[in-house]
Amino acid sequence: MCLPSYPRAEALEVNTKISRGRVTIAEPLDCKVSVRAPFEIEVSTPQADSFGPWALTGAKTEGGGKESSVTLTLLTYTTGQALLPRIPLKVTAKDGRVFTILSSSAEITVESLLDKYGDAGDIRDIKKPLSIPHSALFYVLWLIAALLAAAGVYLWRKKRRSRGLLPAQESVAPEHPLEKALRELEELKNSGLLDENKIKEFYIALFDIVRDYFAGSYGIETRDRTSAEIYADLKAVEADKKLVALSRDFFERCDMVKFAKLRPEPALCREDWDGAKTIVEYSSRRGTIS
């Protein structure tokens, strides 16, 4: 995709070329800026490491003489229409003159992995280790040994309890999923992980709290499953589109931190903590999100 040029010096001819106009979230995008001049020049790589919502992950210069170019590799973690702004670059002439040029801006469509691929776009589970087959007699012997051990423990505890040596166990009511999630959220908030800059650990714990809440509230299986699989099951049982959309965005942000090495600022981490609490509370009361 070629774009019109906006040179800052009349003697320079600048051309910007974008590798594509549509990418998925965290997918690299190449932006090549070529410069031509009537004298020998050299284009320098930019000093900044981010431009608007785009992060610079690599830069490569090419050419020499009267034609020089730099290819910038960028990526973004936002979805929707993301503006690639005009990027300032320094051009140095052989005689020492320095010019500042601007690349062209462009609107890039950024798709989420869930929207584009569904379950197939997520990180796959680790394959189970291969098992070594045994004969049927092997399993029978192990089963008998386990049953004998369990029976021995049961008789021992029964005998001691009858003598008053062991207190009778009291049944404890299981904690409500909402109460459990809110308690764990407060514990995570006060854990100090953000103060210690342990961003990834914070998001792993945050994801686990919401995942376990969905398991307890909806009865869906969430352990050892990808976020896309959990989202698909949630969408099948939950009719509230706002809750489903909130959950999808939450899963995507957690995946970006866990797998794409995104490191949000502490303020954004706290916003995601608020988002997790909103999902849990809204799901429990089916209220209206303002």
User: Looking at domain 2-111, which CATH architecture does it have?
Assistant: Sandwich (2.60)
Specify the range with the lowest mean pLDDT, choosing from 47-61, 86-100, 108-122, 213-227.
Answer: 108-122
Give pLDDT tens digits for 17-41.
999 889 888 888 999 999 999 999 8
What helix, strand, coil percent values describe the chain, rounded to 5? Answer: 40, 25, 35
- Beta partners for residue 51, in sequence order: 54
Residue 36 tokens, joined: 């031509």
- The SS3 of residue 22 is strand
Q: Which residues share a beta bridge with 68? A: 35, 63
Q: Taking 70 as the threshold, does the pLDDT of residue 290 lie above it? A: no
pLDDT in tens, 83-107: 888 888 888 998 888 888 888 888 8
List all residues 6 or more positions away from 174 whose beta carbon is below 8 Å from its beta carbon. none
- Domain layout of the chain by residue ranges: 2-111, 177-285
Pairing of strands 22-24, 106-111: parallel
Tokens 């974008």 appear where?
A: 18
Whether the full predicted model's pTM is greater than 0.75, yes or no, is no
The residue with tokens 């320095």 is 98
Q: Tell me the Cα Rg of the chain.
A: 29
Cα dihedral across residues 71, 77, 82, 87: positive or negative: negative
User: What's the pLDDT at 120?
Assistant: 47
Report for 149-158, 170-179, 227-236: range of highest mean pLDDT: 227-236
